[in-house]
Amino acid sequence: MLAWMQRGRTKEPDIAPNAEENMRGSADTVEYTGPLLSVRGVERSFDVGHQKLKVLKGIDLTLYPKQLVMLKGRSGSGKTTLMNLMGGLDVPTKGEIIFRGQPLHEWDDNRRTAIRRKDIGFIFQAYALMPLLSAYENVELSMRMADVPRSEWKARATACLDMVGLAKRMHHRPFEMSGGEQQRVAIAKAIAHRPSLILADEPTAELDSQMAAQVMAVFREIVAKENISICMTTHDTTIMEVADHVYEMVDGVFVV
Ligand SMILES: Nc1ncnc2c1ncn2[C@@H]1O[C@H](COP(=O)(O)OP(=O)(O)OP(=O)(O)O)[C@@H](O)[C@H]1O
């Protein structure tokens, strides 16, 4: 079966010609088997007054399906700038961002927005929940926005909240929940439309160590069960052992 149909997709993505080497199977069983995301020689500069501020200075990163990778580095080293590029919120000054074989860096805003809605989920430090909606309604809202058929909302929202350990609290509103619980609702919300990539910017920064550990356990479970890859930034060295790979950024480049 087509990989994107296994994931509940009905539409075939257009794969760049250079992705052919990563295609396997016959015409009706073709499956994309390459990296989920490749960042190649990426640079990003910003105009600040009359000067150019070079923030990313040549980044290479490969993210495979079912991988949890972390970006660490001092404040200002360029982690968020890179995540914005990986999620198609921004485009590089130089270099390539290849997402499921498709050249994200060459696409206009509309096309990047479309793939972002379907295939990428974001989690932020501050949980980004609608305060007047229950946990369940928050998750449902994200599916509505991603054009998931209405008939799937109930089962999927319930399954996602169950996966993050909040089945019994799905009708509570954010202010009735702890920070860790709110972040788990944000995770359920981010995975509900079945993206293949989750980008999380400091998802544990506001949490104590026990809640942070719970969130990381949920991330590991999602990677294993949902066929999702996660790339997250963190300053917290205690959670880094959970990662499949940790990239350390110093002044716009990775160090090993
Ligand atoms: N749109 C922009 N215009 C100008 N400068 C920017 C822009 N975005 C980021 N920068 C600069 O790029 C540098 C890297 O910022 P970035 O947010 O990527 O760092 P970070 O590693 O994520 O830091 P933190 O850990 O504090 O979130 C900073 O000096 C920041 O001021």
Residue spans of the domains in the chain: they are 3-255
- Ligand 1 nearest atom to the CA of residue 235, by list position: 25
- Predicted model pTM: 0.85
Query: Residue 31: what pLDDT?
Result: 62
Instruction: Decide: 102 in ligand 1 pocket, CB within 6 A.
Output: no
Instruction: Decide: 81 in ligand 1 pocket, CB within 6 A.
Output: yes
Distance (Å) of CA 254 to CA 53, 71, 77, 250, 251: 18, 9, 10, 6, 8
| Cα dihedral 4/113/150/174 (nearest 10) | 110
Assign domain 3-255 to its CATH superfamily.
Answer: P-loop containing nucleotide triphosphate hydrolases (3.40.50.300)
Query: Residue 25: what pLDDT?
Result: 56
How far is the centre of ligand 1, averaged over its atoms, from the C-alpha of 122 (Å)?
Answer: 18
Query: Residue 82: what pLDDT?
Result: 97
- Condensed to tens digits (0 to 9), the pLDDT of residues 131-188 reads 999 999 999 999 998 889 999 999 999 999 998 999 999 999 999 999 889 989 999 9
Can you say how many angstroms the Cα of residue 156 is from the centroid of all Cα atoms in its chain?
A: 18
Query: Residue 130: what pLDDT?
Result: 92
| Cα dihedral 202/206/209/213 (nearest 10) | -50
Is the predicted ipTM greater than 0.90, yes or no? yes
Which residues of the chain have a pLDDT value below 50?
A: 1-19
Neighbours of 246 (CB within 10 A): 14
Instruction: Decide: 78 in ligand 1 pocket, CB within 6 A.
Output: yes
- Ligand 1 nearest atom to the CA of residue 252, by list position: 14
Q: Which residues contact 237 (CB under 8 A, 6 or more apart)?
A: 72
Instruction: Decide: 53 in ligand 1 pocket, CB within 6 A.
Output: yes
**Residue 196 · residue 176 · CB < 8 Å:** no
Q: Which residues contact 159 (CB under 8 A, 6 or more apart)?
A: none
Which two structure tokens, joined as six digits, stand for 202? 């400091």
